[in-house]
Amino acid sequence: MADQDRIDSFFVMHSARADQWREVLTAAEAWAAGSGTRAKVEQELRDILLIEEFHAYPGMRLLARLRERIAAGEAAAVAAMVRRIADAILTNSYAQQVDGETGGEADDSLPDVLPSVVSGRDRHRPYFEVLLVTPQPQSRWASMAVEFRRLRRVEDQFVYEPVIVGSFEDALCAVLVNPQILSVIVAEGFPFHSAHDAPILRSILDKTLGKLEPSSSALTLAGLIKKVRPELDLFVTTDRDVETLAGSPQSACVRRIFYAVEEVLELHLAILEGIQARFETPFFDNLKRYAQRPVGTFHALPIARGKSVFRSGWIRDMGEFYGINLFLAESSATTGGLDSLLEPTGNIKKSQEMAARAFGADHVFFVTNGTSTSNKMVVQALVAPGDIVIVDRNCHKSHHYGLVLTGGQPIYVEAYPLTQYSMYGAVPLKTIKQALLDLKEEGRLDRVRLLDLTNCTFDGHMYNTRRVMEECLAIKPDLIFLWDEAWSGFARWSPFLRPRTAMGAAAELESWQADPASVEAYEKQQKALGAKPSREKLLETRLIPDPRKVRLRVYQTNSTHKSMSAIRQGSMVLVKDVDYPKVESQFHEAVFTHASTSPNQQLIAGLDVARRQMELEGYGLVMNAISIALKIRQAVNSHPLISKYFRILGANDLIPDAYRQSGFKDYLAPGTTWGDVVKSMKEDEFYLDPTRMTLVCGDAGFDGTQFKGILANRFNIQVNKTSRNSVLLQSNINNTRSDVAHLLRVLIEICGEIEERLRSGGESERQVFAARTRSLMHDVPDLPNFSRFHEAFRKDAGKLTPEGDMRTAFFMAYDESACEYVPLNGPEMDKRLASGPDLVSANFVIPYPPGFPIMVPGQVLTAETIGFMRKLDVKEIHGYEAAKGLKLIKPDALGAGRNKTAKA
């Protein structure tokens, strides 16, 4: 496989920079010590120079000097210089250097990036890089960089360095590979083709953006850059007809257009203003100010200002542990510089608007009680009693409880099972279309309100969100979508994952709707389908909706705290709904229903700050999380000892072939190229989020819960969820390569212990081990599908369709006289299963793991459900008390249930 096609070549490109400079250093030191050659140094350097051109440090001047020294044979000086560069890149110290603080040799290593007028100011002015795309000859670039540096002022809040490129292709490469670029200036008149003949870069561009039409239009380039990194500020400078340019609809993505370069100070100020607009955190900034004010409090919350804590002899350690600012920033006030989360009019409102901009939504609601609450808010706001909701049965319990609260009637759709690992995948589109077509056949589509799915699932299955919405809208053009993206809020910040998010797909659908070609495509398909297409035809066709009829109504919830730097429970609801004005008041009611009237200030501030971070460094952080996941996957599965007992499941283990239409197998499959990965991300029905890694531990003789305990108690490694024979590892924006090293060392140690036990325990130990692994890996219970709602709760249901009135069943459980308890393992249970009367659950019964309801109120229990429950060997089962048995609705009360439903 050509190197440029290696799948990690893109993600690792940025994070591997430091490693590559280390390779140059090794070669340079060997040359200086007489054991290496100049040729080797030159070769190592050649490998990295290409990508270095897209970074401000070490910069062209310093690299030229390095090359001169190599040419002059000054091996010792070269080694010293490379060491400084390699260290600066590894530690990011070049971004913090200030003038005058580096003496001697340092002049040689950092001259290109020293902010020239920063002396004396604090060292922590945030640093970023500005890409300048210019038609000027390369010989002028160094002096252009100097001109930019001259603009720096002591009062600037941020400091930046220019990165200069001379073509359309190089500009795209630079924004892809250098996450520190936060603003782009496009000066018209540049050529399309890169001067480099660099297959690796060309491969990345082609695979990421598709075959590009040669263009030298500043606005076309700006549009493509926005597609890759929507958070960047774009400026265009032109010396021709500035008015025409500004009037073009394509210029909507440009922050400002300047006439020629005579306004260079204005440009500098506009760049800084753009960064400030992302850096600003209206609520957090206000909270900090509030904390500094001498406020007297005569309201509840004695902890505010910390006096009850710091004056106490008994609880002062709490104050010392958390620090004074936590208490100074605590308040139950909503005035005096703060705002009300329930009805924001000031800085919370502004913070939410900024979050909407960042996440590509029209509106954002901050939620301080987790996505558990966000989901209930959305369901309540959109669903009225009796409305039908098509919902993934394995979704988080908040959706099920939301339906109980509103009286929405669920049609549970099943994800495909992954029985061997005791988990589910995601719901196939065909299943969803089938449910909608059934409803259509019965003339009940008008009752359907919402499609509610989890994206990505706990185990990393990402839907093809655009395709799901398109095809569903082709059947019901006003269907509303709720995508629970509790785990994948971060995906917004990767150009590869973004199209698979709710908001990413909604943006694409919006553009599609505005394109006249879409109507043509729709009409062409209608003609081909004919007047009465069969159900089979509709199921197998990739349906195109009628763009004129579609009402695009998309909601997303995300646990900001699960994948970004928000404090636990910080969550957001994102709204992109053309009919939002019609539900706005309902939405506010839902917020009033569920939001605490004492929301925590620190949680709101955390949401504000998480947004700031993602807009300014999310791209690099997410790229890092993905590259770390790829490293862990590679290291575990290829290590000779670890891979004897442990394995991280690939896409081909977790997604059946039928849903990987592109033919993609896995990141690690031999021969897999970067192009295969991008194709799979774009086309496949399901795609595996690489950062969610299912580590199978059953072959090492551990069940998931046991192994999770070992990792936590002995090695201080915390993992995500477990299954019968696996644990879920998640890499995220805080992981470093040290974490990878620690994990590998721990797995090696555990494998060593297993080997030692098997060696010293003899044949009997080996037999016990084999029996245990066999049981964990092969004696796995079948996963039960949702059976059906009892007829008592299907009074107003359709014939073909399985919805049920779960709320009535739920509240029947409040009446103890209407309920009975039947022991799970007793003969009564078997007798009832065999010959009735029906066993009807009064409760949600949710075992952890797997964490989805095995039973819901009103559900008729079957032998499969009971068989699964009996085989479960987990301790935590919500809604089930082993001592009493399963709580059921008595058969004679079911008639009452029927009456209640009828009355409702």
Query: DSSP readout, 886-900?
Result: EEEE-HHHHHHHHHH
571 binds ligand PLP (CB under 6 A): yes
847 binds ligand PLP (CB under 6 A): no
Q: Of 260 and 712, which CB lies nearer to ligand PLP in the complex structure? A: 712
Q: In b/e form, how buried is each residue of 77-108, taking b as 16+ CB within 10 angstroms? A: bbbbbbbbbbbbbeeeebbbbbeeebeeeeeb
Which of 23, 484, 615, 805 is the binder for ligand PLP (CB under 6 A)?
484
Stretch that binds ligand PLP, among 305-313, 367-375, 427-435, 877-885 (CB under 6 A): 367-375
Which residue carries 């490379």 as its tokens?
A: 82
Q: Of 457 and 725, which CB lies nearer to ligand PLP in the complex structure? A: 457
- What minimum distance in Å lies between the beta carbon of 60 and ligand PLP? 47
Q: Of 167 and 571, which CB lies nearer to ligand PLP in the complex structure? A: 571
- What minimum distance in Å lies between the beta carbon of 374 and ligand PLP? 7
458 binds ligand PLP (CB under 6 A): yes
**Start-end of H helices in 639-695:** 642-645, 651-654, 674-683
Q: Which residues pair with 187 in a beta bridge?
A: 237
371 binds ligand PLP (CB under 6 A): yes
- What minimum distance in Å lies between the beta carbon of 401 and ligand PLP? 11
- What minimum distance in Å lies between the beta carbon of 761 and ligand PLP? 39
Q: Of 587, 402, 361, 373, nearest to 486 (Cα)?
A: 373
Q: Of 25 and 491, which CB lies nearer to ligand PLP in the complex structure? A: 491
Q: Of 604 and 678, which CB lies nearer to ligand PLP in the complex structure? A: 604
Both tokens of 769, joined, read 């081990």
370 binds ligand PLP (CB under 6 A): yes
Strands 423-424 and 417-418: antiparallel
- What minimum distance in Å lies between the beta carbon of 727 and ligand PLP? 15
First to last CA, the chain: 65
- What minimum distance in Å lies between the beta carbon of 496 and ligand PLP? 21
**Start-end of H helices in 16-119:** 17-32, 38-52, 59-71, 75-91, 106-109
Binding mask 529-568 for ligand PLP (x = CB under 6 A): ------------------------------x---------
686 binds ligand PLP (CB under 6 A): no
What are the distances in angstroms from CA 150 to CA 114, 161, 264, 471, 737? 11, 11, 11, 55, 38
Q: Of 11 and 401, which CB lies nearer to ligand PLP in the complex structure? A: 401
396 binds ligand PLP (CB under 6 A): yes
Among residue numbers 690 through 709, which ones bind ligand PLP (CB under 6 A)? none
Q: Of 7 and 590, which CB lies nearer to ligand PLP in the complex structure? A: 590
Q: Is the dihedral of CA 532, 536, 541, 542 positive or negative?
A: positive
Which of 97, 372, 422, 735 is the binder for ligand PLP (CB under 6 A)?
372
- What minimum distance in Å lies between the beta carbon of 604 and ligand PLP? 15
Q: Which residues pair with 414 in a beta bridge?
A: none
| Residues in CB range of 534: below 8 A, 6 or more apart | none
Backbone angles phi, psi at 347, to 5 degrees: -70, -25
Stretch that binds ligand PLP, among 366-374, 417-425, 435-443, 587-595 (CB under 6 A): 366-374
For residues 443 and 445, what is the distance between their CA atoms, to the nearest angstrom?
6
459 binds ligand PLP (CB under 6 A): no
Among residue numbers 198 through 227, which ones bind ligand PLP (CB under 6 A)? none
For residues 81 and 188, what is the distance between their CA atoms, to the nearest angstrom?
37
Both tokens of 114, joined, read 């020293």
Which of 32, 45, 486, 728 is the binder for ligand PLP (CB under 6 A)?
486
- What minimum distance in Å lies between the beta carbon of 285 and ligand PLP? 25
180 binds ligand PLP (CB under 6 A): no
Both tokens of 616, joined, read 């300014």
> In this structure, what is the dihedral angle of CA atoms 560, 728, 624, 218, given to the nearest 10 degrees?
-60
Q: Of 61 and 568, which CB lies nearer to ligand PLP in the complex structure? A: 568
Angle in degrees, 0-180, between the axes of helices 8-15 and 168-177, rounded to the nearest 10? 70
For residues 717 and 712, what is the distance between their CA atoms, to the nearest angstrom?
5
- What minimum distance in Å lies between the beta carbon of 788 and ligand PLP? 25
Both tokens of 743, joined, read 């994990």
- What minimum distance in Å lies between the beta carbon of 88 and ligand PLP? 39
- What minimum distance in Å lies between the beta carbon of 783 and ligand PLP? 18
- What minimum distance in Å lies between the beta carbon of 391 and ligand PLP? 12
723 binds ligand PLP (CB under 6 A): no
- What minimum distance in Å lies between the beta carbon of 818 and ligand PLP? 31
**Helix H or strand E encompassing 391:** strand 388-392
Q: Of 159 and 486, which CB lies nearer to ligand PLP in the complex structure? A: 486
**Helix H or strand E encompassing 446:** none
Binding mask 323-362 for ligand PLP (x = CB under 6 A): ----------------------------------------
Closest chain position to ligand PLP (CB): 370
CB 525 within 8 A of CB 541: yes
Q: Of 236 and 451, which CB lies nearer to ligand PLP in the complex structure? A: 451
Burial label, 132 (beta-carbon count in 10 A; 0-12, 13-18, 19+): buried
Q: For residue 323, give the amino acid letter.
A: G
- What minimum distance in Å lies between the beta carbon of 490 and ligand PLP? 14
- What minimum distance in Å lies between the beta carbon of 396 and ligand PLP? 3
For residues 854 and 786, what is the distance between their CA atoms, to the nearest angstrom?
8
Stretch that binds ligand PLP, among 279-287, 365-373, 578-586, 728-736 (CB under 6 A): 365-373
Q: Of 126 and 417, which CB lies nearer to ligand PLP in the complex structure? A: 417
Stretch that binds ligand PLP, among 368-376, 466-474, 585-593, 746-754 (CB under 6 A): 368-376
Which of 454, 726, 730, 843 is the binder for ligand PLP (CB under 6 A)?
454
Stretch that binds ligand PLP, among 364-372, 496-504, 677-685, 757-765 (CB under 6 A): 364-372
Please work out the total of residues on this chain that contact ligand PLP, with binding judged by CB under 6 A. 11
CA 853, distance to chain mean position in Å, is 25
Q: Of 97 and 723, which CB lies nearer to ligand PLP in the complex structure? A: 723
Q: Of 286 and 559, which CB lies nearer to ligand PLP in the complex structure? A: 559
For residues 172 and 216, what is the distance between their CA atoms, to the nearest angstrom?
12
What are the distances in angstroms from CA 331 to CA 295, 296, 325, 340? 10, 11, 12, 11
Q: Is the dihedral of CA 468, 473, 476, 478 positive or negative?
A: positive
For residues 187 and 878, what is the distance between their CA atoms, to the nearest angstrom?
62
| Residues in CB range of 629: below 8 A, 6 or more apart | 690, 691, 692, 693, 731
Which of 178, 180, 398, 732 is the binder for ligand PLP (CB under 6 A)?
398
Q: For residue 785, give the amino acid letter.
A: N
- What minimum distance in Å lies between the beta carbon of 578 and ligand PLP? 25
Q: For residue 516, give the amino acid letter.
A: P
CB 563 within 8 A of CB 610: no
Question: Which residues sit at the interface with ligand PLP, rule CB under 6 A?
Answer: 370-372, 396, 398, 454, 458, 484, 486, 559, 571
